[in-house]
């Protein structure tokens, strides 16, 4: 495989973080790399690529590869990865960015982050033209017809792409690799261990599994062949991409989130650029005028964010109680600056604008221990559950902790396999879904508990 280095962002977890006011993390060298991915059926060569962001010293002999969750990208690890590197000697963290990142156009957002464009310019370019067609220049969203190949981007494609990253991290066995992930990424990490790669079990590539509010689940019901066929048929009518906001414009969730974060990062105390925007869903509109960072907090904090969007929740703070323009008051475990830092990450972003629904279909089926017919239909190669023999760490927060689900799944995985040890850290009543990735340095229970576990993994 030929690697192409996209950017070396020295002395920072992301571009500019070391010098920006209120920077969320200490200086850690990072590098973005793109490599050739799996050749997916019908996919143009330029999209058969997978990227990752490396944090820490290239001389490290231990690598933690982290996989992002649903509708997420490598940037979600921009706060937590440097924290881990600081606490685990000899560790480098690689944050994978799935192939859908190749579909995004985030150049103007990177300019906002760097201070060479304004949040209003980004809003007009990415979203403003939808309400006002006269706006030029404007973002050109990809259509379902242009990206029909995304209907094949399921778990097989994700596992093959991930394996290329893991083999590169292993460097022929010179480095020890631990595989982890957040949310859906935690599930992918567990499934990778069970996957069959032309006769070789995935767990032979790794020395441990880290599941962050997502991982192996003890499924109560199996998905039937008829259900799987119906879900695949929906891709033909609804298109390949997940529409989180239900606007019929799947890319808008990523655009809204990253514009809000870039505005909060670059102009935190200025009036919110999004609050009066006509297309902003009403559930994100505060009844009082807000600053950019308060608007970001209002959208993501569990106290004010829609309950149906628990996958974006944090415990950060609240809107200031008074004033003509309400600012944000941090009083939780995740400072709003950390959210703005990660979600305005340039190049390898924190959100996936085009997230393949096929991946969600396949992941749900794979976690239900599918029948042979379903496995054949969806090309699921979960064949080595019984032989998985690496330690398992799970951090259970609010979302995956519903019904004690992640903890039950960890115990189920151990019963079905040869996993020698399971460590479950339960914070389901005190951590929301994104908090393990964004909590303040020195206050993050995920970092505090996984660091000694990682140190115990033999190099």
Q: What are the tens digits of pLDDT across the range 217-240? A: 877 678 999 999 999 999 999 999
Strand 62-67 to strand 196-197: parallel, antiparallel, or no bridges (unpaired)? unpaired
Quote the CA–CA distance of 231 and 218 in Å, as a whole number.
21
Grouping H, G, I as helix, E, B as strand and the rest as coil, residue 121 is helix
Q: pLDDT at residue 184 above 70?
A: yes
Q: Is the model's pLDDT at 194 over the cut of 90?
A: yes
From 342, 365, 381, the end of a domain falls on: 342
- Give 210's strand partners: 180, 393
Q: Are residues 221 and 249 in the same domain?
A: no
- 111 confidence band (pLDDT: 50, 70, 90): very high
* pLDDT for res 369: 84
Mean pLDDT value of segment 256-269: 97
pLDDT digit string, tens, across residues 245-255: 888 999 999 99
Q: Examine residue 387 and state whether it is found in any structural domain, yes or no.
A: yes
Write the DSSP assignment of 245-291 as a string of letters: TSSS-TTHHHHHHHHHHHHHHHSTTSBPSSTT-TTS-GGG--SS-BB
Q: Do residues 125 and 166 share a domain?
A: no
Q: HSE-up of 250 (CA within 13 Å, CB side)?
A: 20
**How confident is the model over 271-280, as a mean pLDDT?**
95
Cβ-based neighbours of 132, under 8 Å, separated by 6 or more: none
What is the reported pTM? 0.94
At 21, the pLDDT band (50, 70, 90 cuts) reads very low
Q: Which helix (H) or strand (E) holds 163?
A: helix 155-170
Residue 395 lies in a domain: yes
Residue 368 has pLDDT above 90, yes or no: no
* Whether residue 412 has pLDDT greater than 80: yes
Q: Are residues 231 and 331 in the same domain?
A: no
Residue 340's alpha-carbon distances to 97, 210, 367, in angstroms, are 19, 25, 33
Q: Look up residue 25 and give its two tokens.
A: 């993390």
Q: How many CB atoms lie within 10 A of CB 300?
A: 26
- Residue 264 pLDDT: 98
Residue 92 shares a structural domain with residue 19: yes
Confidence of residue 459 (pLDDT cuts 50, 70, 90): low
In this structure, are 201 and 254 located in the same domain? no
Which distant-in-sequence residues (6+ apart) come within 8 Å of 102 by Cβ?
Answer: 46, 47, 49
User: Does residue 109 fall inside a structural domain?
Assistant: no
176-182/209-212 β-pairing? parallel
Q: What is the mean pLDDT of residues 79-107?
A: 97
- Domain with 16, as residue range(s), is 3-104+144-241+354-456
- Domain assignment of residue 110, yes or no: no
Tell me, yes or no, whether 71 and 168 share the same domain.
yes
Whether omega for the bond prior to residue 434 falls within 30 degrees of 0, making it cis, is no
Element (H, E) at 393: strand 392-396
Q: What pLDDT, on the 0 to 100 scale, is given for residue 98?
A: 97
Distance of CA 375 to CAs 76, 238, 354, 366, 412, Å?
Answer: 31, 23, 25, 8, 20
Number of domains in the chain: 2
Classify residue 64: in a domain, yes or no. Answer: yes
In a domain, 57, yes or no: yes
Question: Is residue 22 over pLDDT 90?
Answer: no
Domain end position, chosen among 299, 320, 342: 342
Among residues 288, 321, 342, the one where a domain terminates is 342
pLDDT number for residue 378: 98
216 and 312 co-located in one domain: no
Q: Which residues fall within 8 angstroms of residue 373, CB to CB, at 6 or more apart?
A: 225
**CATH, residue 234:** 3.40.50.1820
State how beta strands 209-212 and 392-396 pair.
parallel
Average pLDDT for residues 286-291, to the nearest whole number?
Answer: 97
What percentage of the chain carries pLDDT values higher than 70? 94
Output the pLDDT for position 220: 67
Same domain, 90 and 56: yes
Domain contains 268:
yes
Mean pLDDT of 142-153: 96
From the number of C-beta atoms within 10 Å of its C-beta (0-12, 13-18, 19+), residue 408 rates as middle
Taking CA atoms, 58 is separated from 85, 235, 442, in Å, by 12, 42, 25
Report which of 23, 14, 39, 5 is spatially closest to residue 268, judged by C-alpha positions: 23
Q: Tell me the three state secondary structure of residue 54.
A: strand
Once rounded to an integer, what is the mean pLDDT over residues 267-279?
A: 96
Residues 248 and 197 in one domain: no
Same domain as 307, residue 371 = no
Note whether 72 and 177 are same-domain residues. Answer: yes
Strand, helix or coil for residue 35: strand
The b-or-e profile of 35-71 (16+ CB within 10 A means b, else e) is bebbebeebeeebbbbbbbbbbeeebebbbbbbbbbb
pLDDT above 90: percentage of residues in the chain: 90
CA distance 410 to 218: 8
Residues 322 and 279 in one domain: yes
Asked, for residue 301, whether it belongs to a domain, the answer is yes
Following CA atoms 361, 362, 364, 369 in sequence, which dihedral angle do they give, to the nearest 10 degrees?
Answer: 150
Q: Which two tokens stand for residue 186?
A: 């935690």
Q: Residue 241's beta-bridge partner residues?
A: 356
Both structure tokens of 118: 């304004």
Tokens of 440: 């303040």
Q: What is the mean pLDDT of the chain?
A: 93
């Amino acid at each position: 495989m030929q690697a192409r280095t996209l950017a070396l962002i020295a002395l920072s977890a992301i571009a500019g973080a070391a010098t920006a006011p209120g920077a969320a993390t200490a200086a850690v060298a990072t590098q973005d790399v793109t490599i050739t991915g799996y050749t997916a059926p019908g996919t143009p060569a330029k999209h058969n690529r997978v990227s990752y962001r490396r944090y820490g010293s290239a001389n490290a002999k231990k690598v933690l590869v982290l996989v992002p969750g649903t509708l997420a990208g490598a940037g979600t690890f921009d706060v937590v990865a440097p924290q881990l590197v600081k606490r685990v000697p000899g560790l480098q963290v690689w944050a994978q960015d799935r192939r859908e990142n190749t579909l995004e156009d985030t150049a103007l957002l990177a300019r906002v982050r760097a201070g060479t464009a304004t949040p209003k310019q980004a809003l007009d370019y990415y979203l403003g033209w939808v309400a006002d067609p006269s706006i030029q220049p404007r973002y050109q969203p990809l259509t379902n017809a242009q990206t029909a190949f995304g209907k094949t981007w399921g778990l097989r494609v994700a596992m093959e792409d991930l394996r290329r990253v893991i083999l590169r991290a292993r460097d022929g066995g010179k480095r020890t690799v631990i595989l982890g992930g957040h949310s859906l990424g935690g599930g992918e990490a567990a499934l990778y261990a069970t996957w069959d790669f032309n006769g070789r079990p995935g767990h032979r590539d790794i020395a441990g599994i880290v599941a962050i509010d997502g991982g192996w689940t003890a499924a109560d019901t199996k998905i039937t062949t008829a259900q799987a066929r119906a879900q695949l048929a929906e891709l033909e009518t609804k298109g390949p991409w997940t529409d989180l906001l239900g606007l019929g414009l799947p890319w808008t969730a990523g655009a809204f989130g990253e514009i809000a974060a870039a505005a909060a990062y670059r102009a935190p105390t200025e009036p919110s650029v999004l609050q009066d925007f006509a297309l902003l869903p009403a559930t994100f509109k505060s009844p009082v005028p807000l600053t950019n960072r308060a608007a970001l907090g209002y959208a993501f904090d569990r106290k004010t964010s829609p309950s149906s969007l628990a996958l974006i929740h944090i415990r950060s703070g609240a809107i200031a109680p008074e004033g003509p323009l309400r600012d944000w008051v941090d009083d939780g475990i995740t400072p709003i600056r950390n959210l703005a830092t990660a979600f305005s990450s340039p190049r390898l972003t924190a959100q996936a604008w085009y997230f393949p629904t096929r991946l969600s279909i396949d992941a749900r089926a794979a976690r239900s221990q599918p029948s042979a017919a379903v496995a054949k239909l969806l090309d699921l190669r979960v064949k080595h559950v019984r032989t998985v023999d690496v330690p398992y760490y799970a951090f259970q927060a609010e979302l995956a902790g519903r019904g004690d689900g992640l903890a039950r799944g960890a115990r189920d995985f151990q019963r079905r396999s040869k996993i020698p040890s399971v460590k479950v850290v339960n914070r389901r009543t005190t951590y929301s879904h994104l908090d393990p990735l964004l909590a303040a340095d020195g206050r993050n229970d995920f970092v505090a508990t996984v660091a000694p576990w990682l140190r115990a993994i033999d190099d």
